[in-house]
């Protein structure tokens, strides 16, 4: 039975490496780190005093004073990234099509900046000084709700909250909405603005974050023997998904096709992955089955690769479980070595990197890879980009709570007639 094909026609992002896809991708290929000292607040009392901040972002200039002050940073970033994706796709939302256009936005912790700021107001000045916008600003579904309002989307719209797997789950779920015929187009991806003192203090108490305050740009070092924890990042990464027929009918340029999606849970621990990577392996297997692909068809994997001891070891084990000896032939990279871990936005960002890698025939590196780990012995594209033509790429995201999500992307031929899904 033929199924509705889902393609990607637009990309938009604000990241620690740049405030457009072009800027971000250029930095990625240069192997440049976006990590530096925290400037958003006074971090002097924290054990970790660096992160991957979005730089040079002026919400008032982008959105106007009235709207900017009514939105948490996470929603501000989402509106701008969505605008970029729609413009990139040359997609117009009108009264005639708005009921068939929706959005699924993933986020790990939503408007946590608003929560902290307004709780401070409450404690210092009392309840009368709490902003009337507090509740809508802090809700995890606010980014999706706000882009619906800003751009007039009346189709399916909800938030996915699966910690660090949120962005990937959002894209997968949005693709399924299109497949079952409930929408013609969806904005999907992830957003996060979690560089706040409480979050960093909490991660520090878990001993999950790097503390290389004297060398922030080398702190995120996925799969390296000397890795000592992840580096927090922020941003928004949004993709415009359309049914193949819808995109073709309007003459859109198709960037890639989503051919596989898998999602599982470890059922093991709230923060630690299963050491053998069983849940992650299950997610990858489901995505391959959904794509109707054999393991030897995958040309590249963008790994979750957080730079924590447990994640990188378990993900490597999971890849070996799924791909067997073929695992040693697949180039794998963790772009978190440059962006930091953007939490709920990570999956959207890494989906964009997969699309760009297929589009340009070049693989992003894993920077800061200096000392091999015997438990992580695959090809991690160390330190320098690599030219390689891709037909199929896989992206992994795993989150606290045991959440696992995997996407498989396919290159679409120039004439847009090749059925990349094999249906």
Please spell the DSSP secondary structure of 353-416, one letter per residue.
HHHHHHHHTEEPPBTT--SBBTTB-S---BSS-EE---SEEEEEEEETTTEEEEEEEE---TTS
Which residue in 246, 304, 354, 403 is the catalytic one? 304
Give strand pairing partners of 373. Answer: 376
- The confidence band for 272, taking pLDDT boundaries of 50, 70 and 90, is confident
Rounded Cα gap, residues 315 and 273, in angstroms: 9
Of 341, 354, 376, 403, the active-site residue reads 341
Q: Which of 88, 164, 246, 354 is catalytic?
A: 164
Domains of the chain and CATH, by start:
6-249 (3.40.47.10), 260-410 (3.40.47.10)
Q: What is the mean pLDDT of the chain?
A: 96
The Cα 127–Cα 117 span in angstroms is 13
* Per-residue pLDDT reduced to its tens digit, 81-94: 999 999 999 999 99
Residue 268 appears among annotated catalytic residues: no
The DSSP bridge pattern shows strands 235-243 and 6-14 to be antiparallel
Q: Give the pLDDT confidence of 177-212 residue by residue, as tens digits.
A: 999 999 999 999 999 999 999 999 999 999 999 999
Q: Dump pLDDT digits (tens) for 134-189.
A: 999 999 999 999 999 999 999 999 999 999 999 999 999 999 999 999 999 999 99
Burial 78-106 (b: 16+ CB within 10 A, else e): bbbbbbbbbebbebeeeeebeebbbbbbb
Catalytic residue flag (residue 341):
yes
Global pTM reads 0.96
The Cα–Cα gap between 150 and 144 comes to 10
Burial 222-236 (b: 16+ CB within 10 A, else e): bbbeebbbbbbbbbb
Q: How far, in Å, are 121, 254, 316, 405 from residue 359 at the CA level? A: 48, 10, 26, 23
379 vs 155: CA distance, rounded Å = 42
Active site residue 164: yes
Residue at token pair 């630690």: 272
Specify whether the CB–CB gap between 400 and 268 falls below 8 A: no
C-alpha 379/C-alpha 330 separation (Å) is 7
């Amino acid at each position: 039975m033929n199924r509705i094909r889902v393609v990607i026609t637009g990309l938009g992002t604000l990241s620690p490496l740049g405030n457009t896809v072009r800027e971000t991708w250029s930095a990625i290929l240069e192997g440049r780190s976006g990590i530096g000292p925290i400037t958003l607040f006074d971090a002097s009392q924290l054990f970790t005093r660096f992160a991957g901040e979005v730089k040079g972002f002026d919400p008032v200039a982008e959105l106007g004073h009235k709207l900017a002050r009514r939105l948490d940073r996470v929603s501000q970033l989402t509106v701008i990234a969505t605008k970029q994706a729609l413009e990139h796709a040359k997609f117009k939302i009108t009264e005639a099509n708005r009921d068939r256009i929706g959005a699924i936005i993933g986020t790990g912790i939503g408007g946590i900046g608003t929560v902290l700021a307004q709780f401070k107001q409450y404690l210092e000045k009392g309840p009368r000084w709490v902003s009337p916008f507090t509740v809508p600003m802090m809700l995890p579904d606010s980014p999706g709700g706000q882009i619906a309002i800003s751009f007039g989307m009346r189709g399916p719209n909800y938030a996915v909250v699966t910690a660090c797997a949120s962005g990937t789950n959002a894209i997968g779920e949005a693709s399924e909405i299109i497949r079952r015929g409930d929408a013609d187009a969806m904005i999907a991806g992830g957003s996060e603005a979690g560089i706040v003192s409480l979050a960093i203090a909490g991660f520090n108490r878990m001993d999950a974050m790097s503390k290389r305050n004297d060398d922030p740009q080398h702190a995120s070092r996925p799969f390296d023997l000397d890795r000592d924890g992840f580096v927090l990042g922020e941003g928004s990464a949004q993709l415009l998904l359309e049914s193949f027929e819808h995109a073709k009918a309007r003459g859109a340029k198709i960037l890639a096709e989503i051919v596989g999606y898998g999602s599982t849970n470890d059922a093991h621990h709230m923060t630690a992955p299963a050491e053998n990577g069983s849940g992650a392996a299950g997610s990858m297997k489901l995505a391959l089955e959904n794509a109707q692909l054999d393991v030897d068809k995958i040309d590249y994997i963008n790994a979750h690769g957080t730079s924590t001891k447990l994640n990188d070891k378990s993900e490597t084990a999971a890849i070996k479980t799924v791909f067997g000896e073929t695992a040693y032939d697949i180039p794998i990279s963790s772009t978190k070595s440059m962006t930091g871990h953007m939490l709920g936005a990570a999956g959207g960002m890494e989906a964009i990197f997969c699309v760009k890698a297929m589009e340009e025939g070049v693989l992003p590196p894993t920077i800061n890879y200096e000392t091999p780990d015997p438990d992580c012995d695959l090809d991690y594209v160390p330190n320098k980009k690599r030219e390689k033509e891709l037909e199929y790429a896989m992206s992994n995201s795993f989150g606290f709570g045991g959440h696992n999500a995997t996407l498989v992307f396919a290159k679409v031929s120039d004439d847009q007639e090749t059925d990349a899904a094999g249906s």
